[in-house]
Amino acid sequence: MSVFAEATPNPNAMKFTASTDIFSGDGSVSVMAGQTSEYAILNELMEVDGVDNVFGYKNFITVNKTFDAEWDQLIPKVEAVFEKNGY
């Protein structure tokens, strides 16, 4: 399986799209700092240093970084979480 990252209009957000669905149903899921989700992948992403919040729908997760985090260092960590979860 594969995941690819793409920039969004917000420089603090990056969209990670998987080749298969991550979430079922028609609802979206978001997790802010201090919250947890029924989805392990979202909870694991929130544990990555530099991740501020996440938003998921169907086959993608948008990761918002903290202002002091750098995408060059954050993207490999986020991709590792996807890989660990089978994406």
Going from the first residue of the chain to its last (87 residues), give the mean pLDDT of each consecutive group of 10, the final group possibly shorter. 93 97 95 96 98 98 98 97 96
Q: Is 78 helix (H, G, I), strand (E, B) or coil?
A: helix
In this structure, is residue 1 part of a structural domain? no
In this structure, is residue 44 part of a structural domain? yes
In this structure, is residue 27 part of a structural domain? yes
**Where residue 28 sits, what CATH number does that domain have?**
3.30.1370.70
In this structure, is residue 79 part of a structural domain? yes
Q: Is 29 helix (H, G, I), strand (E, B) or coil?
A: strand
Backbone angles phi, psi at 9, to 5 degrees: -60, -25
Q: 18 lies in which domain range?
A: 7-84
* Total structural domains within the chain: 1
In this structure, is residue 40 part of a structural domain? yes
In this structure, is residue 2 part of a structural domain? no
Question: Model-level pTM?
Answer: 0.95
Q: What is the pLDDT of residue 10?
A: 98
Q: What is the pLDDT of residue 1?
A: 64
